Structure 1
Amino acid sequence: MKTSSSRQSANGGGRRSHLIAFALAALLGLAGAFSTPAAAQAWPGKPVRLIVPFPAGAAPDVIARLVADRLGAAWGQAVFVENRPGAGGIPGMAALVRSPADGYTLGFVPAAVVTLTPELYKNPQFNIDTDLVPVAAIGTSPMMIVVNQSSDIRTLADLIRTSRAQPGKLNFAAAQTNSVPHLTGEMLGRATGAPMFTVPYSGSAAATTALLANEAAVTVDGLPALTQYVKAGKFRALAVTSKERLPGFENVPAAGETVKGFESIGWFSVYAPTGTPAGVVEQVNRDINKVIQAPDLVARFAELGVYPKPGTPKALGDFVQEQRSAWKRAVIDLGLQPQ
């Protein structure tokens, strides 16, 4: 039979057990409260891969590396650029959509890859609507229409007048078949009733070499490919294809000043595989918006003819949808068929 003292001891032991259990539960709860933000802030805990579906040295690669360097510094983790060139950017995009959706693989996506590739290839191997999510816009890059400095053509109106007088006679050096620059030139000819004879080249370097040698009368390309030749006095800029004249090129008319409503721009963006954590998408968007507005990068972009376009992931998604619709109409108007 238990004594009163033994019962008191047992009751005291029970109270102590309850107190200990309560204290442990409180500590575990406190630990959990601190661990949730820590887990959310853990990204990036290792290097990040940035897939560029163009070769090293191409305009998208140059822009991607500038952004990657600054993101790496901001994150304290290396951001490795991985070039996956190929037809229409398909190899790079296919690699992107197959990557884990953990935030450690991002894609640097130029305009043509999401506007033209789905329209011009029967099996693009990616669906921008279901396989990928928009993260951040980087910047826009209008086209420029140029001739050799020795040419008698001095304005866009001269080019149109000359081409109308000799339909299909002026050689137009297309930087790459069915690229944004190529189709910009084709759309210009269609819009003005002044078709040129298209000579396809393997890329911007080959097309500019042809113009330097006067093997072609005109070429159209992004500002990054042409700016150095214009500034060196080797090419004469007839027009830029943005809605308005551009900072740094105020003496170059916008094409719309001669051809009402004409506009064609390239652009660069970052996408991630569908399923990438929303918190990571928000962080990358926030950090990209910050770095592309840094004065030193704005100045470097300006030298390359790229103009920062900060905004939300939704703003990027809406912009891309508008661009896709516009280019789809252009592909139909030009009678192009998927291959």
Structure 2
Amino acid sequence: MLQARLAAAQDAWPSKPIKMILSQPAGSGPDNVARLLGDGLGHALGQPLVIDNKPGGQNLIGAQSAARAPADGYTLYFATTAALVTNSYLFKTLPYDPLKDFVPVAFVANSPFAVLVRADSNIASLPDLVAQSQRDPGKLSIANEGPRTFGGMIARLINARAKAQANLVSYSSVGVALQDIIGGHAQAVVADLASSSQLAKQGRLRVLAVTSSKRVPGWEQVPTAAEYLPGVEMTGWMAVVAPTGTAATTVTRLNAEINRLLALPANAEKILAVGPIPSPGGSPKDFEAFLLEEHKRLAQIVGEIGLLPE
């Protein structure tokens, strides 16, 4: 009888509102994408999808809350690279297991990073930046959000791979770092393209390279860092996962609906306007394989740049 009731409950899913937890605050890039996706999912599933922002603690608060939620299909986690991969190599211990506590649902979008300089800078390319850093060791500064952030790791990887000798300067936020570049207080910055693209479009910053494996739509004239430094590929991303134990039928339906929404041209345009690049079409198994590869790659990069967990 119990099994029959459980099966009936799963067949009736969803019969009440669904909650999607985020580790970022309202108004952030991930929040904007999650709300767009949530509106579409709510209509498709016939139940409201409520965004629950739990920022802070380098994603630990939101991730832990989602990991401990019941695996009944009514709690999802809108995760980023930091929560599911990077944190594993930054902390000696975590209050959740990124691989064991979640089941992959759907990949949502890539969020490339970029190396930028002031628009009137005499640095015209990534090779120029490296060459200048080598001519005057420690004089050229690259702003970033700190060694334990994605931007900071990219800056350190460029230094390591190119044998550059740039001074890496940490800032409290990407916004402050970008303003310091414009003000001439640092020569370059590593920032996510979503945060920096408007300043580039306004002619205040110049994009030297993007850190994705391929050139970015709308920025095809900008080379990838890997075209000059093979293997320098670090792209942030967003995805939906659920607590481990969530019914396979629920995961399959969510995956199909998310992929359908991401493939709609109107939704894709809205996401691109925020910055990330939507990536529909993958299955939960595809996402699972991707996660395992990301862990292998990050482990190698963290070892190369000498970043130790704390």
* Same fold at TM > 0.5: yes
Matches within 5 A, 1:185-200: 185-200=155-170
Q: Give the Å deviation of 1:38.
A: 6.9
Give the counterpart letter for 2:293 in structure 1: E
TM-superposition CA deviations, 1:119-167 (whole Å, max 9, x none): 1112211112221111110011221111111211111111111111122
Q: Contact (CA 8 Å) 2:116, 2:188: kept in 1 or not?
A: yes
Give the counterpart letter for 1:73 in structure 2: H
Q: Contact (CA 8 Å) 1:171, 1:197: kept in 2 or not?
A: yes
Which residue in 1 is equivalent to 2:294? 323
Give the counterpart letter for 1:261 in structure 2: G
Q: Contact (CA 8 Å) 2:77, 2:240: kept in 1 or not?
A: yes
Which residue in 1 is equivalent to 2:34? 64
Which residue in 1 is equivalent to 2:204? 234
Q: Give the Å deviation of 1:303.
A: 2.4
- Aligned-partner Cα distance in 1 for 2:263–2:118: 34
Q: Contact (CA 8 Å) 1:48, 1:80: kept in 2 or not?
A: yes
The 3 A distance-change label for structure 1 pair 168 and 58 is farther
Q: Contact (CA 8 Å) 1:255, 1:263: kept in 2 or not?
A: yes
TM-score calculated relative to the size of structure 2: 0.93
Aligned partner of residue 50 in structure 2, secondary structure: strand
Give the counterpart letter for 1:147 in structure 2: V
Q: Contact (CA 8 Å) 2:84, 2:99: kept in 1 or not?
A: no
Q: Contact (CA 8 Å) 2:113, 2:234: kept in 1 or not?
A: yes
- Aligned-partner Cα distance in 1 for 2:32–2:43: 17
1:287 aligns with 2:257: yes
- Aligned-partner Cα distance in 1 for 2:47–2:183: 45
Aligned partner of residue 268 in structure 1, secondary structure: strand
Which residue in 1 is equivalent to 2:80? 110
- Aligned-partner Cα distance in 1 for 2:55–2:146: 14
Give the counterpart letter for 1:89 in structure 2: N
Q: Which of 309, 313, 318 is matched with 2:284 structurally? A: 313
Give the counterpart letter for 2:250 in structure 1: V
Q: Give the Å deviation of 1:37.
A: 8.8
Which residue in 1 is equivalent to 2:132? 162
Q: Contact (CA 8 Å) 1:148, 1:236: kept in 2 or not?
A: yes
Q: Which of 298, 306, 317 is matched with 2:268 structurally? A: 298
Higher relative contact order (CA 8 A, sep 6+): 2
Q: Contact (CA 8 Å) 1:175, 1:206: kept in 2 or not?
A: no
TM-score calculated relative to the size of structure 1: 0.85
The 3 A distance-change label for structure 1 pair 98 and 136 is same
Aligned partner of residue 301 in structure 1, secondary structure: helix
Matches within 5 A, 1:135-154: 135-154=105-124
Q: Size of the alignment, in residue pairs?
A: 306
Q: Give the Å deviation of 1:202.
A: 2.0
- Aligned-partner Cα distance in 2 for 1:109–1:215: 34
Give the counterpart letter for 2:225 in structure 1: A
Q: Which segments of 5 or more consecutive residues in structure 2 lack a partner in the other structure?
A: none
Q: Contact (CA 8 Å) 1:175, 1:201: kept in 2 or not?
A: yes
Q: Give the Å deviation of 1:168.
A: 2.2
TM-superposition CA deviations, 1:248-303 (whole Å, max 9, x none): 11111111222233211111111111111111111111111111111011112222
Q: Which segments of 5 or more consecutive residues in structure 1 lack a partner in the other structure?
A: 1-31
The 3 A distance-change label for structure 1 pair 97 and 40 is closer
Matches within 5 A, 1:178-257: 178-257=148-227
1:335 aligns with 2:297: no
Cα RMSD between the aligned structures? 1.9
- Aligned-partner Cα distance in 2 for 1:97–1:127: 8
- Aligned-partner Cα distance in 2 for 1:123–1:337: 12
TM-superposition CA deviations, 1:208-232 (whole Å, max 9, x none): 2222222221111222111111111
- Aligned-partner Cα distance in 2 for 1:124–1:210: 34
Q: Larger radius of gyration, structure 1 or 2?
A: 1
Q: Contact (CA 8 Å) 1:143, 1:264: kept in 2 or not?
A: yes
- Aligned-partner Cα distance in 1 for 2:155–2:27: 23
- Aligned-partner Cα distance in 1 for 2:58–2:6: 42
Aligned partner of residue 263 in structure 2, secondary structure: coil
